[in-house]
Homo-oligomer: A and B are copies of this chain.
Amino acid sequence: MAGNTFGELFRVTTWGESHGPGIGVVIDGCPPGLALDEAGVQKMLDRRKPGGGSIASTARKEADRAVILSGVFEGKTTGTPILIMAHNRDARSSAYTDIAGLFRPGHGDITYTAKYGIRDWRGGGRASARETFGRVAAGAVAAELLRLSGISVAAYTLELGGIRATTIDVGQVDQNMFGCPDSTVMAAMTDRVTQVKRRGDSVGGIVEVRADGVPAGLGEPVFDKLDADIAKALMSIGAVKGVEIGAGFEASGMTGSRSNDEITPQGFATNNAGGILAGISNGDRIVARAAVKPIPSIGITQQTVDTNGKPASISIKGRHDISAIPRINVVCEAMVCLVLADHLLRQKAISWTR
Contacts and interface: CB of A to CB of B under 8 A. Distances in A.
Interface in A213-263: 215-225, 227-236, 238, 241-249, 251-263
Interface string A310-342: 110000000000000000000000000000000
A177 interface: no
A300 interface: yes
Given A216-B111, A260-B302, A252 B291 contact: yes
Copies per complex of this chain: 4
A111 B254 CA distance: 23
A22 interface: yes
Given A31-B353, A265-B305, A252 B5 contact: no
Given A32-B116, A242-B248, A350-B29, A4 B223 contact: yes
Contact of A106 (B20, B234, B259): B259
Given A3-B220, A241-B245, A262 B303 contact: yes
Contacts of A17: 70-71, 73, 78, 80
Given A249-B206, A249-B241, A249-B291, A103 B5 contact: no
Interface in A248-307: 248-249, 251-265, 269, 272-274, 276-283, 291-298, 300, 302-305
For the complex of A and B, the 7 pairs showing the least CB-CB separation, nearest first, are A108-B278, A3-B220, A3-B224, A111-B280, A202-B256, A2-B29, A114-B216
Given A29-B349, A108-B280, A204-B251, 12 more contacts: A1-B8, A1-B9, A2-B29, A5-B28, A17-B78, A31-B350, A108-B278, A127-B279, A201-B256, A204-B259, A235-B245, A242-B244
A32 B347 CA distance: 11
A83 interface: yes
Contacts of A78: 17, 116, 118, 120, 125
Interface string A53-72: 00000000000000101110
A106 B273 contact: yes
Given A241-B274, A293-B251, A265 B309 contact: yes
A148 interface: yes
Contacts of A91: none
Nearest to A205: B252
A351 B31 contact: yes
B345 A221 contact: no
A81 interface: yes
A89 interface: no
B257 A252 contact: no
A108 B281 CA distance: 10
Given A115-B219, A243-B231, A32 B353 contact: yes
A346 interface: yes
A279 B236 contact: yes
A280 B26 CA distance: 22
